Amino acid sequence: MRIRISAVLILCMALVLAALGQNRDYYFSLFDSIDKSGDWADGERRFREAVRNYPDEVTFHLHLNTSLRKQKKFREALEQAAGMRAKFPGNNDVANSYRWSLHELGWQRFGERQYPEATELFKKAYDLDPGEEWSINGYGSCLREAGRAQEAIPILEEGMKRYGSNKWIKSNLVEAYVRSSEDVKKSDPARAEEYLHRAIALDPEHESALLFYGIHLRSKKDYAGALELFRKGIARYRNNKWFPINIKYMNYDRGRSLIDGGDLEGAIAVFSEATREYPDELYFPYYLGDCQLKKGNIAAASAAILSFAGIGGRTAMEPKDEANFRTSLYHLSSSVLTKMAGTGRFNDGFAFLDRIQNAFKERCLSMSLRGSFTYHAGRRKEGLSLVNGAYNAFIKDHPEYRIPVVVRPPVKGVFTVWGNDRTDAITHAGMNKYCFDFLGSTRDGEITRHAISGHGKNEDYIGFGMPLYSPVDGTVVSVVDDIRDLEPAGSYRLVDGNYVTIQDSAKRNHALVHNRYRSARVKVGDTVRAGDIVAEMGNTGMTTVPHLHYGVYSEDWLVSIPVQFTEYTVIKGATPGKVRTGTPKDREIIEIQ
């Protein structure tokens, strides 16, 4: 009986062992069929079963890891690979699976823009083997996107030494150079330029290298070199909008550079060509009109301004852009109308006004332009009525410009003060109503040093050459100093004059106008303090005798702002005596210490 039981046990054990051996072979044979069918969910289920049955069989652990990664269960795969690595230390296949799991979860997080986590994952892979090709590529890419491009450079450079034919490492290194250049261009321009040199040298056809090196050349005013790169970029990367955009806006750079260099003819050629090539670009005709005006080409200037107005009228703009367009159109139109009036082209001027007026949403602006031109055409009463009506309409919608600004007087000595809402002068009415004229004088109001014949010479006038002072702390934003003084006359001439403009901390513009030829002591960008000498009183521009025209204007130069001066004495006027803060009346004689 005992012999029979032992035989049965032996037979059962043999059957179990046979079954188990058959199952092991079965699991070994599964991988190829699952790989062929692509049913990795079933593979996961089967290999989890295999791992439970044969926990020490490394192959089944490896197949389970593959099944998880094929299903993009990258985080589970990494956790499983970490456990597998602890169970089978030193196994190269396990180490590879762990690294692949790090890579795939890293790229997943990279695609989700979770760059810090992606960087940490690839760092772990890189630390396992700093020479492994794809760990280098991934770690360098993640560092770059995590804002650590300069750290990525040495890693990717080492990758290029080891794997020079790897196009991904090469591309990512170029991107790291470009990104590093952008990171340091303000703090270390020379280093930024060196990074761009490396980028374009490594791959002269790379999209980012072409674009950013072209932008760099554009900033260095190497317009020919930049144009070559941008055109190459357009031919190679047709969907990249920044190549044609840079070509378009490089026309602005070229034109303005020529203007700064005094080459108005060159600038006109650039902006004329740009206007033809980009007929819907708003500011090309604006700059063309400004250059034509400076050259005295009034007809060409007015045509360009009308084109500017037309483009603006059919272009949808944000409120800020709309305000900039309106302001630019107003000032440029004012300039061309002044030139037309100065040359007696009144019919052309009124025709221009008729065509331009619909471009202004605020009709008070076209009303102001028409009023000034009407005044210069000889219909002074009508002109003054129009500009004053324009001011009233404008200020109703902009009451903030009623608030007076308090400043130090821009002169020292004895002066007769004209202006501040005069009813007989266009330069002190409407949008200019709060401007002042300071004429150096005696305490009795004589403005010449001695009796003169006719209108005399500039040197006969007390004010000629007197210092002009900054009335505020601020920054010099514009200076014209190269126009010669006119001889005194009985009527004004519509010509340009010298001026200095200082912008205060509230962005108000303080204009000191009619300054003496070559008397400016400041340049654009200078910081000045109240009381600093900035120029001398002269007789340039729309003037009859030497004096200072002073006004405070809004940031956009559309309207003058009421002014109160500190610490002066009224010698002759309605209320003689010392004034702590006040506004001189027209024709008052005041003294400023």
pLDDT for the residue numbered 133? 98
% of the chain with per-residue pLDDT over 90: 94
Tokens of 566: 């500190």
- For 434-467, write each residue's pLDDT tens digit: 999 999 999 999 999 999 999 999 999 999 999 9
Tokens of 453: 């014949």
Task: Assign 22 a pLDDT band (cuts: 50, 70, 90).
Answer: very low
- For 314-328, write each residue's pLDDT tens digit: 999 999 999 999 999
Q: How many CB atoms lie within 10 A of CB 52?
A: 9
Mean pLDDT computed over 503-523: 98
Poorest-pLDDT segment among 1-10, 175-184, 377-386, 469-478: 1-10
pLDDT for the residue numbered 20? 45
% of the chain with per-residue pLDDT over 70: 96
Whether the predicted pLDDT of 498 surpasses 80: yes
- Give the whole-angstrom CA distance, residue 189 versus residue 70: 47
Residue reference for tokens 């069929």: 33
Whether the predicted pLDDT of 420 surpasses 90: no
pLDDT for the residue numbered 421? 66
The closest of 421, 426, 431, 333 to 382, measured between CA atoms, is 426
pLDDT for the residue numbered 234? 97
Whether the predicted pLDDT of 35 surpasses 70: yes
Whether the predicted pLDDT of 15 surpasses 50: no
Are 64 and 51 in contact by the 8 Å Cβ rule? The answer is yes
Whether the predicted pLDDT of 17 surpasses 60: no
Q: 476 has which bridge partners?
A: 502
Q: 528 has which bridge partners?
A: 474
pLDDT for the residue numbered 39? 97
Task: Assign 574 a pLDDT band (cuts: 50, 70, 90).
Answer: confident
DSSP code for 483? P
Whether the predicted pLDDT of 536 surpasses 70: yes
- Give the whole-angstrom CA distance, residue 413 versus residue 247: 55
- For 52-108, write each residue's pLDDT tens digit: 999 999 999 999 999 999 999 999 999 999 999 999 999 999 999 999 999 999 999
On average, the pLDDT of the chain sits at 94
The closest of 538, 390, 396, 355 to 459, measured between CA atoms, is 538
Tokens of 86: 């602890």
Give me the sign of the Cα torsion angle 547, 553, 557, 560. Answer: negative
- For 328-383, write each residue's pLDDT tens digit: 999 999 999 999 999 999 999 999 999 999 999 889 999 999 999 999 999 999 99
pTM here? 0.79
Mean pLDDT computed over 22-43: 91
Whether the predicted pLDDT of 7 surpasses 50: no
- For 249-265, write each residue's pLDDT tens digit: 999 999 999 999 999 99
